[in-house]
Amino acid sequence: MKKYLPVSFFLLGIIVLTGTFFILRSRKGKEAQFEEEESFLKEIPFEKRPFVSLIPEKDGHYLTFSIEKLGLIDAESLDYELLYQVPDGASQGVPGTVDLKGKDSFEADLLLGSESSGKFRYDEGVERGTLTLRFRNAKGKLIAKFQTDFHLQTGMDKLTSIDNKFSCTFVDAPGEHFWLTMGTFGVFQLPPGNVSEGPYGVFRSSGSKDVPSGKVALGGESVYRLASQDSQWLKLESSSDYPCEGIFVGFTP
């Protein structure tokens, strides 16, 4: 039997290499398809973009993914993908597809971890990731794509966006909360001017009703904050402190 072992190892090696080749080829094919599709995409006007949020739960194990104003884009389906990094540098993904017929909003709880047979494994120490949305028509053709980075923080004295264009430095104790800073693509109501920076959304896990305040920094000659869907835009003064939660935009005339 020993004389057949080299041949067996040789054949096994061929099988492994062949399988690896087709896996990589398939992956590259999908990436090339996405690149080809996205090269034909048109810019979606700001007023027609959906509003998206990721709200962390109090233990940081789930992010509530919410999207509003879906009816502004004439699409049949939505592919979403949440990618995040764990402390050792590895990437994890949470994909999903939504049938948009008759929907103007959608919400789902995204697990930062995995579940098998009712047993959960949570990825601790997650700090950053990316959310990608792909809208498709009835034929499956890509018609709109949105992508944003998010920053998940806790136990810090300053909130920052991944691109460092937005920050809010606490002057009050931030409390035992998880905070998530991200681009929201669109807004509930249009700001009173042309947006040059943002919109950035800052979302906090459930807890006390009092929102800690801080010094907000964002590019543009004027910075505005929208506290909630039913509130009005408020112009921020650089010398004052404001709640570090809400939607923030920067204006340049």
Question: Does residue 200 register a pLDDT over 80?
Answer: yes
Which band of pLDDT confidence, cut at 50, 70 and 90, is reported for residue 173? confident
Residue with tokens 């906090």, as numbered in its chain: 204
9: left (phi over 0), alpha (psi -120 to 50) or beta: alpha
Which band of pLDDT confidence, cut at 50, 70 and 90, is reported for residue 35? very low
- Least-confidence region, from 87-91, 102-106, 168-172, 179-183: 87-91
pLDDT at 62 (0 to 100): 96
The CB density around residue 43, as the number of other CB atoms within 10 Å, is: 6
pLDDT at 5 (0 to 100): 47
9 or 168, which is more confident: 168
33 or 184, which is more confident: 184
From CA 133, how far away is CA 97, in angstroms rounded?
A: 10
pLDDT at 116 (0 to 100): 87
Question: Does residue 12 register a pLDDT over 50?
Answer: no
Q: What percentage of residues in the chain have a pLDDT greater than 90?
A: 64
Q: What is the pTM of this model?
A: 0.83
Note the pLDDT tens digit of each residue in 135-169.
Answer: 999 999 999 999 999 999 999 999 999 999 999 99
Quick one: average pLDDT of 44-60?
Answer: 94
**Beta-carbon-side half-sphere exposure of residue 155 (alpha carbons within 13 Å):** 4
pLDDT at 90 (0 to 100): 87
From CA 43, how far away is CA 47, in angstroms rounded?
A: 12
pLDDT at 40 (0 to 100): 52
Select from 151, 234, 180 the least CA-distant residue to 55: 180
Note the pLDDT tens digit of each residue in 81-104.
Answer: 999 999 888 899 999 999 999 999
